[in-house]
Structure 1
Amino acid sequence: MKYLFVFFLCLMNLLFLASCAKSPTGRNQLKLYSNSQLAGMGEQAFDSMKAEQTVSSKPMSNLYVQCIADAITQHVPKSVFAGEWELVVFDDPQVNAFALPGGKIGVYTGLMEVATNQEQLAAVIGHEVGHVIAEHGNERMSSNALINIGMEVTNQLLQTNQIATSNLIMAGLGLGVQVGVQLPFGRTHETEADLIGLELMARGGFDPRESMTLWENMAKASGDNRQPELLSTHPLPATRISNLSNNMDNAMLFYNAATIKPNCS
């Protein structure tokens, strides 16, 4: 127990000292990497994916997704990315999409079976771009780096003091960090990206109320094949819908003020 306390004390001190940034929602953030470093990593990862995965050759699908992405990304602050965003539709049945630093967006064709209209797809793309705006990738990499340092320091301390149960203690620390730090951290990121994406889609002229329908569709598509929220990096669909509903009034103000309502379909 003493070593568990020492580990978390060291870890919290490191996180406190390094947490000097704020997320778009006002949350303290730890960011150890520069924007140029993250953009370079994003470009490399995107190039690898394009080389390894099948890119859709269907013009109508590409134009449809591009139209939605263009309406979303024009509302991204230039401080996040000032260039032209690159969009690729991957011909793959997985229900997924992503955005990467450096202005990269990927959408899988399987997502369009669940996001059944332009508003629902806008909610997903807005969410993924929200991760980039909030620099969640930087934050995850930074926190993992400090966690690894803390784990290594604790392991060296145990070995130096020849603690017989050092392996058991390290295993317990690993589980504690996962359930107590990393998983809640992931859920926080997902919730934050949901809210940023909600505003982005509304500013882009897409009805934000459809974001809740999207998560109803997601819940149906996944069935009962879900872990308890405590053991997951993502909030349950019902939690997402509740959070979106609580922020809908503000989103509707942006939607009603939008001068252009896209007709991408």
Structure 2
Amino acid sequence: MTIKFLDQDPIIISRRKLVQGLAAGSIVAVAGCARNQAIGRDQLLLVSEGQIAQMAAASWTQLKRQTKISQDRNLNRRLNTVGNKIVQTAGLQRQPWEFTVFDDDQANAFVLPGGKVGFYTGIFKRMKNDHHLATVMGHEVGHVTGRHAAERYSQQVAAGVATTAAAVALEAGDVRGGAQIAGILGLGVQFGILLPYSRRHELEADRLGVNYMHRAGYDARQAVAFWDNMSSQRTGSSPPEFMSTHPSDATRKNAIRQELQRLGLA
């Protein structure tokens, strides 16, 4: 097999050597693989929820020091009311939760391991009602139920081990251009494993969120309306979906509609 890089001589590598490199890169410990009933699949989990929460604690403290916290009583009341309802329906009320409104115009929200939920004031401007707020809150709580932070961290650790092993095997096999080939393998890991899993996480969180908001008494059909509103107000071009860590708006809305049909709400 011949691999040619820009402005460089072709690299000739036997199929056997390439397979050896790929095989070495695929030998990653999978002990800790566990079944998550909420999402209906097995997950690679190399860290516990407690460990990942400890990792996130410092980031949360730093964020609260560096970002202004909103004193708007109405926004804080709404966030805590909706948040507690969603957490209750998700069966996660026994763990501590903290809901914080950050005074920033960006239209964003996030959740950190350990039940730390942050909403920016900018996203409230995209919400027409508490059904929309419940859409986002359900999504964030869905990430916790899905154990997505721990899985994402574990995938990155495993991918790093795999890429390093491949590079070592190629260099040890005296393959000319082994480092460059290992770089290609790294891109393959990025686009073939890490990013698709991130999109999967987003869609799983959407599905769980629709269920949580419905069971909490909110109109789950408004989830589609919320994403319609977000799409209409988004500026700039988006990267192709296969290069993005988030699914396209169309993919996301179609998946939500399918879940609404399953729930008999469409």
Residues 139, 209 of structure 2: 8 Å contact kept:
yes
- The number of equivalent residue pairs is 251
The residue number in structure 2 matching 1:206 is: 218
Superposition misfits of 4+ residues, deviation over 6 angstroms: none
| 193-202 or 154-163, which deviates more | 154-163
Structure-1 separation of matches of 2:57 and 2:264: 34
Q: What one-letter code is carried by the residue in structure 2 that aligns with 1:83?
A: Q
Match of 1:187 among 182, 188, 199: 199
In the TM superposition, 1:25-44 aligns within 5 A as: 25-44=39-58
What's the offset of the Cα at 1:3? 5.3
Structure-1 separation of matches of 2:80 and 2:149: 24
Structure-1 separation of matches of 2:136 and 2:20: 41
The residue number in structure 2 matching 1:158 is: 170
Q: Which runs of 5+ in 1 are unaligned?
A: 254-265
In the TM superposition, 1:1-265 aligns within 5 A as: 2=16, 5-10=19-24, 12=26, 14=28, 18-22=32-36, 24-78=38-92, 82-251=94-263
Q: What one-letter code is carried by the residue in structure 2 that aligns with 1:186?
A: S
Residues 33, 44 of structure 2: 8 Å contact kept:
yes
Residues 7, 150 of structure 1: 8 Å contact kept:
no
- Give aligned-pair identity as a percent: 34
What's the offset of the Cα at 1:17? 5.5
| 67-76 or 124-133, which deviates more | 67-76
Give TM-score, length-normalised by structure 1. 0.87
What's the offset of the Cα at 1:19? 3.0
Compared CA separation, residues 225 and 15, structure 1 to 2 (3 A): farther
Residues 19, 31 of structure 1: 8 Å contact kept:
yes
What's the offset of the Cα at 1:126? 0.7
Structure-2 separation of matches of 1:10 and 1:168: 16
Structure-1 separation of matches of 2:192 and 2:183: 14
Give TM-score, length-normalised by structure 2. 0.87
What's the offset of the Cα at 1:42? 2.9
Structure-1 separation of matches of 2:168 and 2:104: 45
Q: Higher helix fraction: Structure 1 or Structure 2?
A: 1
Structure-2 separation of matches of 1:11 and 1:23: 30
Q: Which runs of 5+ in 2 are unaligned?
A: 1-14
What's the offset of the Cα at 1:83? 3.0
